[in-house]
Amino acid sequence: MTIQTDPDTTSVPPLEHPLEDGWTLPASWYSDPTVAARERERIFARSWQYAGPAEHVSEPGSFMATQAGHIPVVVTRDRLGVLRAFVNVCRHRAYMIAQGNGCRETLQCAYHAWTYELDGSLRRAPRSEREAGFDTADFSLLPVSVDAWGPFLFVNPDADAAPLAETLRDLPQIVASSGLDLTTLKLHSQTTWEIEANWKVALENYLECYHCPTAHPGFSKVIDVDPDSYALTISPTFSSQIGPIRASALSGDGRAPYIPTGDVTSSQYHFIWPNTTINIAPGPQNISLERWVPDGTGRTTEVTDYWFGADVPPEIVQEVLDFDTQVGQEDTDLVISVQAGLDSGTVPQGRLMRESEQLIADFQRRLYDAIA
């Protein structure tokens, strides 16, 4: 079953200057409700998105609530051990059923006690026996596609979506080339950022390191961000940034935020269309996955899950987390300012640096093709 949405009855604001000439999307697209509505229907309702740690639903009877864009999702492991996912909305009056994660025999709506099996079927609806023609089989939870890559769960609201592997392509091999072994990782923690900016602003900032020498002095002491060293690549479903370690950072001269020694010999930053990012810092076994969830037109919730190798010392873990938090706060300050500038309307379309910001150009072209 594919989730149905209302057809468009309005058009998005047009481009004054073409993207092919290096222009950005119009500033109005970062606050326009028509654009946001089309993004919900044509992008987030049809794409694979990172959902959370697979270990949360590793045992029969376990569940995890998550979000795919604007669509609430619950992932379950039913009694037979089958991994499933559903729209986390009761078929009665649209109350959101599950919260958080845990284990239980059924999912029960806290509004009127409609109770669902972990396979999504409606088990009981109080007083339904009084309703002529009421058949519980007609009111199962709406299915959602779900799959895992190692310790990472992904969902797609389109129940008929192509397999996750067609989105990942050779990304698992690229990640492995960093020296990272996903089988040795242990989930460490989760951090949530509430960002007062449109989701596109936040991701466009992620997709370039042109700003790194200016805005991220600590990051630039660890990673070589010179354009001749910092590699940018574009694949059909994802894009990548790979940066080598600065030799000076390995010397332990005290200028870098931490000494990046370990199995991971380069940084990797990957973006999976439309809103999943993957970060691997040089040094110890580590990775973090992020989902960027739009909250209206001018706010984004960014959720980050961190994994580390089981034998990474706590003090090294903390150094990497502090490093990531510092960069994250610097980026948050940047995108809030960009959103304010866009909202001013004084620069209707900006001009990209097409070599240094080619991943942004690719992102904006994908978005334009999807909604316009």
Per-residue buried b or exposed e for 88-111, using 16+ beta carbons within 10 Å of the residue's own CB: bbbbeeeeebbeebeeeeebbbee
Q: Are 302 and 290 in contact (CB under 8 A)?
A: yes
pLDDT computed for residue 255 by the predictor: 86
- Beta-strand ranges (E) seen in the chain are 49-53, 62-68, 71-77, 83-87, 101-103, 106-108, 115-117, 122-124, 145-149, 152-156, 185-195, 231-234, 238-244, 266-272, 276-280, 286-294, 300-309
Q: Looking at the predicted structure, is the pLDDT value of residue 6 above 50?
A: no
User: What's the rounded mean pLDDT across residues 222-246?
Assistant: 97
DSSP secondary structure letters along 54-84: GGGG-STTEEEEEEETTEEEEEEE-TT--EE
Question: Quick one: tokens of 320?
Answer: 């990497």
Residue 183: which pLDDT band, with cuts at 50, 70 and 90?
Answer: very high
Query: For the chain, what is the radius of gyration of the CA atoms?
Result: 22
Averaged pLDDT, 156-164: 98
pLDDT > 90 in the chain, percent? 95
* Closest listed residue to residue 354, CA positions, set 22, 23, 25: 22
Residue 7 pLDDT level (bands cut at 50, 70, 90): very low
Q: Does the pLDDT at position 297 exceed 60?
A: yes
pLDDT in tens, 198-231: 999 999 999 999 999 999 999 999 999 999 999 9
Beta bridge partner(s), residue 71: 68
Q: Nearest CA to 66 among 293, 299, 287?
A: 293
Residue range 271-283: average pLDDT?
Answer: 98
Structure confidence at residue 3 (pLDDT)? 55
> Residue 348 pLDDT more than 80?
yes
Dihedral angle sign, alpha carbons of residues 206, 209, 211, 212: positive
Tell me the per-residue pLDDT of 98-111, one tens digit each, with 9 for 90 and over: 999 999 999 999 99
CATH number of 49-156: 2.102.10.10
pTM listed for this prediction: 0.95
Domains 49-156 and 170-371 share a fold: no
For residue 308, the model assigns a pLDDT of 98
Backbone torsions φ then ψ of 27, nearest 5 degrees: -60, -35
70-81 confidence digits (pLDDT tens)? 999 999 999 999
Report the interhelical angle of 199-206 vs 314-344 (nearest 10°): 120
pLDDT(23) > 50: yes
According to CATH, the superfamily of the domain at 170-371 is: Naphthalene 1,2-dioxygenase Alpha Subunit; Chain A, domain 1 (3.90.380.10)
Domain segments of the chain: what residues? 49-156, 170-371
